[in-house]
Amino acid sequence: MKKIYHLLALVILGAFTFTSCDDFLDMQPTNSGNAEGAVGTVADAQVVINGVMSAMTSSSYYGRNLFMYGDAKGGDLTIFAAGRGLDAFYTFNHTSNSNTYSGFWSRGYYCILQVNTLLSNIEKLEESGSMEDFSEAKGQALTLRALFYFDLVRLYGLPYNYNKTSYGVPNVTEPLTVNAQPTRATVEENYRQILQDLSDGAALLAKKKTKQSGYADYYTNIALQARVKLYMEDYDGALNAAWEIIESGVYKLYEPADWTASWSKQFGSESIFELGITTEESDLGTSSLGFYLMRYGQLKNAMGWYLASDYFLNRLGEDETDVRWGIMDNDEYWVDNEIERKGACYKYMGSTTLAGDGKATNTAVNIKIIRLSEIYLIAAEAALHSTKQEAGADAAAGYLNEIRRRSPGLAPATAATITDDMILDERSKELFGEGQRFFDMMRMGRTIEFNDDFQDIPVSHRGKTIDRTFEKIVLPISQDEINANPALENQQNPGY
């Protein structure tokens, strides 16, 4: 059965590389003649969903690369020396045959394939008269599928507010036949599917409006709606979603004095969707986010791959009492030059003392995908532009100041002083290391400046600055994927 499944995946979605921890995810495809036996109960469905979330912790997805991609390409991270790993994120040295990082594509579609097969199996069970209530499982699956497509369309498609008629990614919402060759939808069509999945998922999950740590619950869905609608510049919709979460009282912002310690805790009061990392299965060890962002040589095999750029440190340095300095520590520049430079980030080691988050290894730190602080920042930006009566600059400043309390040395925002750039700067400081910066800069049409003069690093694949007119702001479809699905041959992204 495993061979049949892998063959199907290869034909439909290109060459996948799986690790042993994915084996238990294998589900018999619906065209194999025995699909109705793959999932028979709600408990079976939850096992599959748990497996999908485990697959999300791969180094090629949320386990490392997606967050590294967003901050390296967004200019908040820089590299001290070339050749240590993931350099192409920073240098934009991508072609269809090299540095494609096709793991984003294959891992994303692997997760989508699992979800689609699960939903198909549940549909068959319901049609056959099953008395089990699969509402929650279906709601979680639809919410996760929306997240996967949102990530894929941001990686391979232009920003929605820049060119929504350009190519996005194939919209695949059901198990495919062996000879299927799905083609790329438009960015607008991808977003339409994302919103549909979120709407359908929310209706199913609304039966249980309680916090379910580690699961894509109702509030995860609403938080994703806030994020997606902000990217679409649907400010009224984004504000409504953000407001629902804030007003629910289910989550609570950390007091400034508690913010640093929150990174050593699992499923804290701000965590809306968090992926559990276990020491036995998903701990990436020396390949983890924590290792890639810590100081060179602090532990064996720590290479100092990436460190904060001068631009980010200057932004955070507007207030030396900002509590977010608490997860920063001296980097390799300090080691070599004995000049203090707090460019190493320890969010994913739990603390600057490498405390982890309560597990046997300090690299098995949970991945926080959506936090309440982001929801407040979404509310601030959306309120500034919303047409809703309760919105406006006063409301926007109020939302922003809840996060700006973490910078006690800075004056609070007011209706007269708040701007998009002030909110964007706060997003950079709060969400550093969480993969948001590049996508924020692109959706807002900003110019990114890179810290190339930090060290003598040759960069020949982009200029010192880029904006969203630069062709390589999206990844190439890898040649392996095109070979597996020739229908994509004439749909390669420009510049590749």
Q: What is the pLDDT of residues 442-455, one digit of tens each?
A: 999 999 999 998 77
pLDDT the model gives residue 21: 37
Q: What is the largest CA-CA distance in the chain?
A: 71
Q: Quickly tell me which residue has 């060759």 as its tokens.
A: 181
AA identity, residue 155: L
In the structure encoding, which two tokens stand for residue 104, read together? 């984003």
- Name the residue with higher pLDDT: 131 or 457: 131
Q: Do residues 88 and 11 make contact, with C-beta atoms less than 8 angstroms apart?
A: no
Using DSSP, state whether 54 is helix, strand or coil. helix
Cβ count near 323 (within 10 Å): 18
Q: Please tell me whether the overall predicted TM-score, pTM, comes out greater than 0.85 for this model.
A: yes
106 pLDDT exceeds 90? yes
Residue 143: partners with Cβ closer than 8 Å, 6 or more residues away:
197, 198, 201, 202, 205, 216, 220, 221, 224
27 pLDDT exceeds 50? no
Nearest to 58 by CA among 413, 392, 367: 367
Q: Do residues 173 and 116 make contact, with C-beta atoms less than 8 angstroms apart?
A: yes
Q: What is the pLDDT of residues 58-84, one digit of tens each?
A: 999 999 999 999 999 999 999 988 888
pLDDT the model gives residue 5: 33
Q: What is the pLDDT of residues 347-376, one digit of tens each?
A: 999 999 999 999 999 999 999 999 999 999
| DSSP classification of residue 328 | E
Mean pLDDT, range 403-429, rounded to an integer: 98
- Name the residue with higher pLDDT: 67 or 27: 67
> How many helices (DSSP H) and strands (DSSP E) are in the chain?
18, 8
In which band, very low, low, confident or very high, does the pLDDT at 334 lie, cut at 50, 70 and 90? confident
Q: What is the pLDDT of residues 373-398, one digit of tens each?
A: 999 999 999 999 999 988 999 999 99
Cα separation of 414 and 479, whole Å?
51
Q: Quickly tell me which residue has 């294959």 as its tokens.
A: 106
pLDDT the model gives residue 82: 83
pLDDT averaged over every residue in the chain: 91
408 pLDDT exceeds 50? yes
